[in-house]
């Protein structure tokens, strides 16, 4: 049974809803789910298929939401990583702080910033970069450019991995995601893989 906990809005999201659904906190907009703890299956099933080895230390999350990624890696995969979360929406940061952060054992540094600006200024290298940036059900165009992907690649350590979430729950979205993967993503990450996970296209580089 879904239980409504809180609704709010912000400059970047006209509607934000926090609910308790199947015992997990869920953050959603009218057309998209931003976070859903370990039930955020697009990332959960992707993490099951990539190598999460013990050499991973630093993880960058672009589009933090309610922290589904550190939650599932900590609680379900038994990983102890250090996280840098970049989130544009001040209200989402407030909700994450209110509902999730105090329950995480992992070291989490949450930064309010535009992810493009952050990547331009970032000097740290990461073992894993997760990109989960949406405004409702759309990825802003600035994050679909070759320039952005090169910024991401420049901040990966040798042997590091990037996971980029795209919506693919309708045929038109799936075709759009596959086209982007083949014409843009693989240009920067030639050995990239595409996983269709439920209604999402997950790109791994």
- Does any domain span residue 187? yes
Confidence of residue 34 (pLDDT cuts 50, 70, 90): confident
Q: Is the dihedral of CA 131, 86, 188, 183 positive or negative?
A: positive
pLDDT digits (tens, 9 = 90+) for 101-135: 988 999 999 999 999 999 999 999 999 999 999 88
Q: What is the pLDDT of residue 54?
A: 78
Nearest-5° angle of CA 170, CA 171, CA 176?
A: 100
DSSP assignments along 86-122, one per residue: EES-HHHHHHHHHHTGGG--SEEEEEES-HHHHHHH-
53 pLDDT above the threshold of 90 = no
Alpha-carbon span 2 to 76, nearest angstrom: 22
Alpha-carbon span 79 to 196, nearest angstrom: 24
Q: What is the pLDDT of residue 174?
A: 93
Domain that residue 193 falls in? 38-204
Strand partners, 61: 85, 130
CB-based contact 143:116 (threshold 8 Å)? yes
- Does any domain span residue 71? yes
Q: What is the pLDDT of residue 39?
A: 84
Q: What is the pLDDT of residue 33?
A: 83
State the total domains in the chain.
Answer: 1
Q: Say what the pTM is.
A: 0.92
- CATH number of the domain at 98, please: 3.40.50.150
> Minimal CA–CA distance to 162: which of 197, 122, 196, 189?
189
pLDDT digits (tens, 9 = 90+) for 144-161: 999 999 999 999 999 999
Q: What is the pLDDT of residue 29?
A: 87
């Amino acid at each position: 049974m879904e239980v409504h906990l809180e609704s709010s809005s912000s400059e970047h999201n006209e509607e934000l809803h926090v609910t308790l659904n199947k015992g997990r906190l869920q953050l959603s907009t009218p057309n998209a789910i931003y976070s859903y703890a370990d039930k955020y299956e697009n990332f959960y099933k992707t993490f099951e298929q990539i190598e999460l080895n013990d050499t991973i230390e630093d993880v960058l999350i672009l589009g933090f939401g309610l922290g589904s990624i550190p939650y599932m890696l900590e609680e379900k995969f038994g990983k102890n990583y250090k996280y840098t979360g970049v989130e544009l929406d001040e209200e989402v940061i407030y909700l994450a702080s209110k509902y999730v952060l105090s329950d995480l054992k992992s070291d989490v540094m949450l930064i309010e910033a535009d992810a493009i600006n952050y990547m331009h200024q970032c000097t740290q290298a990461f073992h894993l970069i997760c990109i989960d940036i949406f405004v409702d059900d759309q990825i802003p165009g600035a994050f679909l450019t070759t320039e952005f992907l090169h910024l991401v690649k420049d901040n990966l350590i040798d042997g590091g991995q990037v996971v980029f979430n795209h919506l693919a729950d309708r045929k038109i979205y799936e075709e759009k995601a596959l086209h982007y993967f083949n014409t843009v993503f693989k240009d920067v990450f030639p050995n990239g893989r595409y996983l269709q996970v439920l209604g999402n296209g997950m790109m791994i580089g």
